[in-house]
Amino acid sequence: MLESHKKLERNSILLLIFAVIAVSVGGIVEIVPLFRVQTTIEPVKGLRPLTPLELAGEDIYIREGCNVCHSQQIRPLRDEVQRYGHYSLAAESMYDHPFVWGSERTGPDLARVGGKYSNTWHMEHLTDPRSVVPESIMPRYDFLARQGLRTWDLPDKMRTLRTVGVPYTQDDIDNALVDVQAQTMPDEDPSGLQKRYGPKVVPQDYGSHDPGGPTEMDALIAYLQQLGTQVDFTAYDPDYELHKSVAPGAAKGGAK
């Protein structure tokens, strides 16, 4: 064995050929399955790319390192599903670049935090976490409400994301700056925004009431409020149990 290996080691061309073969095997094992990665993404209904405001919010989420303490992945374990809701699907983060799954839970998982609290609560909580959760060890992010949102680079960000597969249309990109404003103005006509991102996107007051336009706080809250709300699980999973056991007494108002 050693004697025959000696031939290989002393012939550079032969060594090169066999080294390439060895490395190729490793490469094939790692790379080829990725060609089929689409088969692991569940077909779900309701998924949309983030609106420009939410996209800006995701960048703030990453900038402030929220993902260091908060995960965004509900594992298919009974206690997690009971606490946070339906387990996360691969499809739910297919437009995330980068993924913000996180790997640690110093704070709770945020994969389904959207709609769980009011905007006011988020505003109070980010401004001073102890004011709503006395035992919280989360830092304060009150400065976000004083920082105007940088929006000029959003069309570029969307264009970049489009090249890696997020289905932003030219219309989405052209209207990015309009949509950022529109999503924070509840009194204006939302038809353009809703045409592009769906009727579930409702313009609202996200909390910082800054007359100078949306702040970083608004963007972050807008991002948080959509987390986990897009996929319709009753369509994805026929066994989804949320509404199966309707109590006849409750529906008719049994107790008086």
Binding site residues, another protein, CB under 8 A: 2, 32-33, 36, 39, 76-78, 81, 83, 85, 87, 112, 115-121, 125, 131-133, 202, 239, 241-250, 253-256
Q: Which is nearer to another protein, 101 or 117 (CB)?
A: 117
Cβ at position 211, least distance to another protein in Å:
14
Rounded to the nearest whole angstrom, what is the least distance from the CB of residue 185 to another protein in the complex? 17
Q: Between 201 and 219, whose beta carbon lies closer to another protein?
A: 201
Pick between residue 147 and residue 194 the one whose CB is nearest to another protein. 194
Minimum CB separation of residue 134 from another protein in Å reads 9
**CB of residue 29 to another protein, shortest distance in Å:** 9
Which residue's CB is nearer to another protein, number 187 or number 241? 241
DSSP-derived secondary structure for the chain: -HHHHHHHHH-HHHHHHHHHHHHHHHHHHHHHHHHTGGGGS---SS--PPPHHHHHHHHHHHHTTHHHH------S-HHHHHHH-SPP-GGGGTT-SS----S--SS---TT-TTTS-HHHHHHHHH-HHHH-TT--PPP-GGGGGSBPP-TTHHHHHHHHHHTT----HHHHHTHHHHHHHHT-TTS--HHHHHHH-TT------S---TTS-BHHHHHHHHHHHTT-SS-HHHH-TT--TTT---HHHHTT---
